[in-house]
Amino acid sequence: MVSPLAYIHPEAVIGQNCEIGPFCYIDRGVVIGDNNTFMNSVTVLYGARIGSGNIFFPGAVISAIPQDLKFQGEESTAEIGNNNKIRENVTVNRGTAAKGRTIVGDGNLLMEGVHVAHDAHVGNDVIIGNGTKLAGEIVIDDHAILSANVLMHQFCRVGSYTMVGGGTRFSQNILPFSLVARDPAAFCGLNTIGLRRRGFDRDLINNIHLAYQIILQGTGKLGDLLARVEQEIPMSPEIEYILDFIRNSERGFIR
């Protein structure tokens, strides 16, 4: 299952039933789980921690040192979970002293040319389109979709079940369950089709819509608007998530 044209450092740890194609490079100190496929010309560098059941397409580079001038060679990792598809020429840099690790969770699809910078945290079941670039120390919550050629500024967060339109550039947080697009980036409503596909019922979608009507169209201080949501909208984990997300949005959020 290992091509004679691949290089694997003697100190690398490789699990069972892994396929490693020609011209792959597996560096020292790398730890790889079971049932992974590395097509030709995949580079896995020091600090990589890879789970099981992943597929890496040609040209992917995992755990290169950060593109951050503050990086001083400190110990850090790039951690890839399970059952991800990492397409051609994807780059995932390892962490810095800021957080120590870059994380890509489980069941994600990173399409061709995606860049995941140092100390980023990509959740589970996320789709990231061709050419999208994620800056350092960002967070993408579970089930989000970022279309092609999106530019995500450092320290930003994208909420769960969000759809971000192709070519969007943003430097503030994106609210959960929303559609965001245009230039400059703007809130374009709920990701209603996506929510229905994920099994959200009509009443829950309506409550999310009413909560955002209060928050985005109401008058008064933001804290008062959030209090109105708590008083007027039936509470659920999804509504609580929206309130917590906004209260913790130090960069503000796209309206």
Active site residues: 118-119, 136
CB 180 within 8 A of CB 125: no
Cα radius of gyration rounded to whole Å, the chain: 20
Q: How many C-beta atoms lie closer than 10 Å to residue 240's C-beta?
A: 11
- Of 86, 80, 99, 108, which Cα lies nearest the Cα of 137? 99
CA distance 23 to 103: 25
> Following DSSP, what letter does each residue of 134-187 receive, concatenated?
E-TT-EE-TT-EE-TT-EE-TT-EE-TT-EE-TT-EESSBB-TTEEEETTTTEE
CA distance 43 to 6: 10
CA distance 34 to 72: 32
